A and B are shown apart, each in its own frame.
Chain A
Amino acid sequence: MSTRRLSWPLSAVAISLFGVVFLLPFAFILLTAGKTQQESAALEFSWPTRWALVENFVAVVEARDYLLIIAFINSTILTVASVSVVVVLASMAAFVLQRRKSRWTKAVNLVILSGLVLPPAVVPTIWVLQKLGLFKTMPGLILVEIAYAMAFCVLLFQAFIAGIPKEMDEAATIDGAGPLSLFFRVVLPLLRPIIVTVVVVQTVFIWNDFASPLYFLPGDENATVQLTLFNFQGQYTNSYNLLFMDILLITVPPLVMFMIFQRQIVSGMIAGSVKG
């Protein structure tokens, strides 16, 4: 791109467009979360006459016997467990798939691609979980999330491993490293940048996942954060202030991730979509 001067008219158009289209909904969430119940029922985009952020926060947390706390704990367990396991399993598989090019690995890659494209068969998955005694259990849901995340992660890892020279492996092997120590001691540390990307992207995905917990881990005591939004809708049809406080609270973790890891998230999602 050339030596271009700032275009003021274009800037003005862009800023007002973005303000209305992208920022207004978030401002609306914040404002409504700070209103009293009565005021929030008007559904208006207005400054609260009295800020009730703290009261609303306490009310949301206490609602239905601290369900939100339980949901936060459940979602955290689900996300941390699934992401940490899938990183190890997917990077191991990607390492071998990238280094050994054969008809076999080609076929495996094709199957992996299907995992990226095809919609999961939900009720048969419940059947599998039931057969294994894992239906309506957290470990069952974690395994399903790992399976769904696998394709994306393996493809991302493979693309990155392709950039690591094979001579590294050979040198380590000559020094007497077996496959396990070659991978875990030599290769895995080199994967740090892509691991960060995979972790943050998958954390956001799984944190926001709604359908899988809905199908595979039903029940109030098992609620994850996304499901609490519906619990509010059912219980407090008119408590828009609490609903929006809940939306605000469950948006905070992705927002924090985004502020810290914006570059990795954007590059990871571009890479994932271009590969898929």
Chain B
Amino acid sequence: MKDPGLVMLRKSPYPYWFLIPGGLVFTVFFLVPSVMAFWFSLTRWTLFDQEFIGLDNYVQFFREPALASGLWHTLVYAVVTSGLKVILGMALAVLLTAPILGRGFMRSVAFFPVLVSTIGVGLTFQVLMHPTEGVINQILGWAGITGPAWLVDPDWALLSVAFVDVWQGVGLATVIYMAGILSIPGEYFEAAKVDGASAWHRFRRITLPLAKPATVSVILLSLIGGLRKFDLIWAMTKGGPGFTSDVMASVIYKQYQAGFYGLSTAGNVVLFLLVILIALPLFWFFNRKDDNQ
């Protein structure tokens, strides 16, 4: 780059057309539908023709408790899964960076569920969570605890699915935290130990603050994932019993199945806005400093 004039004259070795093939697919199959969703959500729509009906779909969406409650459930689900993944992910990461036997194997075991079919996990836990015959309540019974009816109890259904989500996803949170913890210089812990800091103090004053970037990643990732969750809920409860575990993504699918395409798309737009409203402020708040490489 000694002579900028010469470089300008030559054709750039980085032509913009390299962006076209990928950009085209991304635009046609992701961006265009996303933008069109705003229009279709204002119509009564059969895929072949549309009739403009203004905000009727949205009115219907928020007026029908079965639909509107999905919005609330989505928030609960995202917050519960995200919070538990932060706490348990951190705890497992501390455990798995401690000097214990079989550490490597346990790291693999904790991470593997992330890669297993979510539907498979959902159906497996549906059986394990059977109210009377299920293994989970059997084990709780040995400990003298009467377990809830899990998926068939309206008060527990959504939480039960959220717990399974945490079981499946906590491994990712754990490896993110482990990467954070292992990047903390060992001298910090040494020095603190010499100064007589207890294990809890070392965790509280060193690990926790220095693992903050990891916490940010885990929160963002699991919130965004939780808000969009569909497959696990569909495999385990299909939104039931009643509508007690229906979330936005399952509402969207049910309305689509029922042929209410406009209403389904309105739900989709609501979900968009929900994700943007929650993710964007967090994103900007956390990412202000480390903009680009």
Contact = CB atoms under 8 A, between A and B. Distances in A.
Interface string B222-233: 001001101100
A22 to B, nearest CB: 5
A10 B98 contact: yes
Contacts of B19: 92-93, 96-97, 108
B47 A130 contact: yes
A2 B29 contact: no
A130 to B, nearest CB: 6
Contacts of A207: 117
Interface in B45-93: 45, 47
Interface in B89-123: 95-102, 106, 108-121, 123
A208 B235 CA distance: 13
A38 interface: no
Nearest to B261: A123
A150 B127 CA distance: 36
B120 to A, nearest CB: 4
A145 B169 CA distance: 22
Contacts of B134: 43
A121 B22 contact: no
Contacts of A182: 13
B149 to A, nearest CB: 15
Contact of B36 (A90, A127, A146, A230): A127
Interface string A113-126: 01101111111111
Contact of B231 (A1, A211, A240): A211
A266 B33 CA distance: 32
Given A18-B106, A121-B33, A24 B114 contact: no
Interface in B1-58: 1, 10-16, 18-19, 21-23, 25-26, 28-34, 36-37, 40, 45, 47
A269 B179 CA distance: 12
B98 A208 contact: no
Given A23-B109, A211-B230, A126 B99 contact: no
A126 to B, nearest CB: 7
Contact of A269 (B114, B117, B135, B167): B114
B249 interface: yes
A146 B220 CA distance: 23
What size tier do the contact residues of chain B reach? 35 or more
A92 B22 contact: yes
Given A118-B272, A243-B123, A124 B40 contact: yes
A208 B13 contact: no
B244 interface: no
A254 B116 contact: yes
Contact of A24 (B32, B121, B135, B224): B135
Contacts of A215: 253, 256
B265 A123 contact: yes
Contacts of B28: 128, 132, 143, 147
A205 B128 CA distance: 25
A10 B91 CA distance: 13
A104 B18 CA distance: 14
Contacts of A117: 224, 275-276, 279, 283
B33 A128 contact: yes
B186 A147 contact: no
A127 B47 contact: yes
Interface stretch (A51-59, A62-70, A189-197, A244-252): A244-252
Given A121-B34, A150-B22, A211-B230, A7 B98 contact: yes
A255 interface: yes
Interface of A: 1-2, 4-8, 10-11, 14-15, 18, 20-25, 28-29, 32, 42-45, 86, 89-90, 92-93, 95-97, 99-100, 104, 108, 111-112, 114-115, 117-130, 132, 143-144, 146-148, 150-151, 154, 159, 162, 169-170, 172-173, 177-179, 182-183, 204, 207-208, 210-211, 214-215, 225-226, 229-230, 233, 240, 243-244, 247, 250-251, 254-255, 257-258, 262, 265-266, 269-270, 273-274, 276
Ordered nearest first, which 4 A-B pairs have the shortest CB separation?
Answer: A89-B22, A147-B29, A124-B33, A121-B37
10 contacts: A22-B109, A96-B14, A100-B16, A111-B31, A118-B276, A119-B268, A126-B47, A150-B25, A257-B115, A270-B175
